[in-house]
Amino acid sequence: MKLIVGLGNPGPEYAQTRHNVGFLVVDELVRRGLDRAKARTLKPDTFMNLSGTAVAAALRQSNMTARDVIVAYDDADLVFGDIRVRTEGGSAGHNGIKSLIEHLGTPEFTRIRVGIGRSENPNVPLEDWVLGKWSGDEQEKMSDIVGRAADEIEKML
């Protein structure tokens, strides 16, 4: 059994922001009819920097450990649309991942990193970029990108 977590921020004002790509991946897996005998999904209703509290609580209510967790999230250090899989590592400054490492007590969980890139304008702070809405061009490509991230997770199951 796996716990598939999509990282994002709750509320309609964040629904179409770059920081919520993890939620989109979980939504796609649910849309596909993810086999509930193999995995459960979670979209924490906490804000990104408190995601670890929700994931730790979900693990306490199950027979799963941190090694059973697969987390999908945005990564500004990857080119838009790139997808990378890691089985452990540091947070690379991502507040949601920092929270997971802190609350799970280990970095040993699988990560599906979805590239959102960075603004071409160096004056745009990273926080504004990740909390910004997808551009029209990005939005057109999101279905494919989210689908590829979901494919990676399905391969793991």
Q: How many whole angstroms separate alpha carbon 30 and alpha carbon 25?
A: 9
Rounded alpha-carbon distances, angstroms, from residue 75 to 33, 38, 40, 91, 95:
26, 26, 23, 10, 11
Q: Hey, how many other C-beta atoms are within 10 angstroms of the C-beta on 31? A: 10
DSSP states of 38-102 as a string? TEEEE--SS-GGGHHHHHHHHHHTSS--GGGEEEEEEETTS-TT-EEEESS---TT-HHHHHHHH
> What residues are labeled active site?
19
